[in-house]
Amino acid sequence: MNIKVGTRGSKLALAQTDWVINKLKSFYSKIDFEKIIIKTKGDKILDSPLSKIGGKGLFVKEIEESLLRGEIDFAVHSMKDIPSTIPDGLEIACIPERESPFDVWISNYKDIYELPQFSKVGTSSLRRFSQLKKIRKDLEILPLRGNVDTRLKKWENGHFDGIVLAEAGLKRLGIKIKYRRFSIEEMVPAVGQGALGIEIRKEDEKIKKILSKIHSKETEISIKAERAFLKTLEGGCQVPLGAYAWIKDFKIFIVGFISDIEGERFYKAKEEGSIEDPEKIGERLAKKLLKAGGEEILKEIYKRG
């Protein structure tokens, strides 16, 4: 049996896909998994911030179209790249156990608080930008796009005094580098950060059954809460926001924020509730933030277009 697996061609996307395939092979040694590399719009435009070119759906659209045409059997995505609405006929059938959700600080300065005034810091997201501005108003935050290697090289070559990356990417690529992990109090992660989402055609029960071997119920519950938060805020890459949910003692906890670009008006809150209804907890948190001032921020951002 041959199964075609769709993936982006970046080093990280391939490492993630290999991880999924190797996990599946431990259960299904007789199945041949063939990687099909699909170039997405987000991979082609590397000189603009995501917020300027249309948001994160740019990394999944072409792959989803390939899935709908039957050219691949399933697709491996970074969960944080998947928009809150899935196209008709497709579903996220499997969410494996989550890698680290945290962001990390990489610099010759041990800590962001030690940086000299007006230092240059590189990041690829408005979510990080606004939270960095909240930590240090004086810093010059500059766009940093490209794969993990490219970003690290730009820092090593002195373009930045420090950069912020996802810890999960460094771990999956096996990159050994000194860094400091940001706490949740300092920097709320992106929705789905550190998790993978495996997308299939809705009717494909056979593939769904195969993937069920590597599905993590705990991660799924957390991701459901985070994505309900995102959907309620209708947030893409144009809005600085983030959320992270975790389970402890059979309860789900979620922390989230929404902010203006400069981190001036910054609304952050926490919710908790039953693991039976994670979506309700995520929605409740989003509505709390909208009421606190998030609605005004969204209106302003969308008015600017």
Q: Which residues carry out catalysis? A: 81
CA–CA distance, 262 with 201 (Å, rounded to integer): 40
- Contact (CB, 8 A) for 280 and 232: no
Note every long-range contact of 202-209, with CB atoms under 8 Å and residues 24 or more positions apart, other chains counting: 202/89, 202/90, 202/91, 203/89, 204/73, 204/74, 207/3, 207/73, 207/74, 207/93, 208/93, 208/94
9 token code pair: 């061609």
Residue 264, Cβ neighbours under 10 Å: how many? Answer: 11
Triad 94, 189, 267: Cα angle to 5°: 125
Going by C-beta distance under 8 Å and a sequence separation of 6 or more, which residues neighbour residue 58?
Answer: 40, 41, 42, 45, 50
Query: Tokens at residue 25, please?
Result: 């092979």
DSSP state of 118: T
Q: How far apart (Å, rounded) are the C-alpha atoms in residues 138 and 180?
A: 21
Residue in 237, 258, 261, 186 with CA at minimum distance from that of residue 80: 237
Question: Which CA distances in Å does 42 have to 39, 116, 146, 156?
Answer: 8, 34, 10, 24
Closest C-alpha among 85, 123, 83 to residue 107: 123
First to last CA, the chain: 48
